[in-house]
Structure 1
Amino acid sequence: MEITIRYYAGARAAAGCAQESGPAGRTLDEIVDELAGRHGDQLARVLRAASFLVDGVTCHDRRTPLPAGATIDVLPPFAGG
């Protein structure tokens, strides 16, 4: 089973895609490390500053295994005026 990872704004540009899949049962910290390794330094910088939603809820425990079918939203800091 898999999870879905969706990228927004600068995270989408850094990853070079709007979304991708990954294996379920891994923690958010493990997934972030894998994504940084896969996509390189630009995404790694974005991920260090990003917020993450898991199924629409802010993720406070990055060490809990994510269930199959979960959706992770990667939200980089947004600038506004």
Structure 2
Amino acid sequence: MDTTAPPVLVRYFAGARAAAGNTREETVSASSLDHLTVLLSERHGERLALVLKTASFLVDGLACHDRQVALPAGATVDVLPPFAGG
């Protein structure tokens, strides 16, 4: 883990969970969503990387569209892949 970045709890839903090897949640130290997506792609591979490109993110329950905004320590980041029909 990157000790200079704050730890955040990442929770995976639907196709994101499957792409992460059925991981439900994990803790990752990341400074932003961009940083987080790089780390998660390195950890879980190309399948998750593809999902992350189109995923929506909730940070502490709020939609976050700016992938460069700083993540607060202890935040919960929900990874929501595109859903059928939506």
C-alpha offsets along residues 40-63 of structure 1, whole Å, 9 cap, x if unaligned?
Answer: 010011111110010111102211
**Percent same amino acid at aligned positions?**
59
Structure 2, unaligned runs of 5 or more: 1-5
Tell me how far apart the structure 1 counterparts of residues 69 and 18 of structure 2 sit (CA, whole Å): 28
Tell me how far apart the structure 2 counterparts of residues 37 and 23 of structure 1 sit (CA, whole Å): 13
**Normalised TM-score (structure 2):** 0.85
In the alignment, which residue of structure 2 is the partner of 1:69?
74
Count of equivalent residues: 80
Structure 1, unaligned runs of 5 or more: none
List 4+ stretches of structure 1 deviating above 2 A: none
The answer to whether residue 68 in structure 2 is matched with residue 50 in structure 1 is no
**Normalised TM-score (structure 1):** 0.90
Higher RCO (C-alpha under 8 Å, 6+ residues apart): 1
Which of 12, 18, 35 in structure 1 is aligned with 2:24? 18
